[in-house]
């Protein structure tokens, strides 16, 4: 999979931060905060590209992967925009030990960025294609997502392994969503989720990813 991105550098004091963004806007992606859980509404293109960015976060432990989507319009059949809290999304490796309180200042210092295209392996091409679901529930498991909320941005912090293993959720939405909706008119929803029973959420809320085919222009 070839994924066009832009790479940005921002200096804060003596530290320099690398921020990766999608090269083109993810216009049909909305992350909605519902207090107890989060919903991520996607069309096919957004689901495919976010799956790629999710996988890229696994192989970029020194970078912040930023999805600037909080200003997007909501899908027309899903939610009224009035009163809905929308968020940006940042994906980062836990070893970076990044403080979300720095984000607003870093975000304000980002320039146009340098375009680049990365090539990601197809699903199943890596050595970790077989997931040990039972091991996720061991007490010793440290491959967990943690979340922080700051400056209208959800920070998803995790290990390379948990990012790599969960990127498939988005690719499932991109592949199966467009086929499911037309043949299920009475229930035109295709979704998957990062669930609390999956053994991948530490200090983190559940995230439901839903395919949407009708969007306001």
Count: domains in the chain = 1
**217 lies in a domain?**
no
DSSP lists the bridge partners of residue 211 as: 42, 190
From residue 40, alpha-carbon distances to 31, 124, 132, 210 in Å are 4, 24, 26, 6
pLDDT-derived band at 158 (thresholds 50, 70, 90) equals very high
Average pLDDT for 108-124? 86
Is pTM beyond 0.85? Reply is yes
Question: Is residue 216 situated within a structural domain?
Answer: no
What whole-number distance in Å separates Cα of residue 215 and Cα of residue 65?
Answer: 25
Q: What is the pLDDT of residue 129?
A: 53
Residue 20 has which token pair? 């990766």
CB burial of 133-146 (b: ≥16 within 10 Å; e: otherwise) equals: eeebeeeebebbbe
Residue 82 or 205, more confident:
205
**Mean per-residue pLDDT, 96-105:** 94
Those residues whose C-beta lies under 8 Å from the C-beta of residue 105, and which sit 6 or more positions away, are 12
- Where does the pLDDT of residue 89 fall: very low under 50, low under 70, confident under 90, or very high at 90 and above? very high
Q: Residue 30: which H helix or E strand, with range?
A: strand 29-33
Q: How confident is the model at residue 80 (pLDDT cuts 50, 70, 90)?
A: low
Q: Do residues 59 and 161 touch, judged by C-beta distance below 8 A?
A: no
Q: Categorize the per-residue pLDDT at 131 as very low, low, confident or very high, splitting at 50, 70 and 90.
A: confident
Domain that holds residue 170: 2-211
Residue range 32-55: average pLDDT? 95
């Amino acid at each position: 999979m070839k994924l066009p991105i832009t790479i940005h550098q921002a200096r804060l004091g003596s530290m320099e931060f690398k921020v990766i963004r999608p090269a083109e806007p993810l216009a049909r992606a909305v992350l909605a905060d519902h207090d107890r859980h989060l919903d991520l509404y996607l069309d096919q293109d957004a689901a495919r590209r976010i799956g790629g960015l999710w996988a890229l976060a696994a192989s970029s432990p020194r970078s912040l992967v930023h999805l600037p989507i909080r200003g997007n319009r909501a899908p027309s059949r899903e939610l009224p925009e009035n009163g809905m809290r929308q968020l940006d999304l940042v994906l980062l490796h836990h070893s970076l030990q990044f403080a979300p309180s720095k984000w607003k200042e870093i975000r304000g210092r980002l320039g146009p960025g340098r375009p680049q295209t990365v090539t990601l392996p197809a699903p199943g091409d890596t050595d970790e294609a077989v997931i040990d679901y039972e091991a996720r529930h061991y007490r010793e498991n440290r491959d967990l997502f943690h979340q922080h909320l700051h400056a209208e941005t959800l920070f998803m912090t995790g290990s390379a392994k948990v990012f790599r293993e969960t990127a498939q959720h988005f690719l499932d939405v991109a592949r199966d969503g467009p086929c499911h909706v037309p043949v299920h008119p009475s229930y035109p929803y295709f979704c998957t989720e990062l669930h609390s029973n999956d053994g991948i959420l530490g200090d983190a809320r559940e995230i439901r990813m839903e395919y949407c085919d009708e969007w306001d222009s």
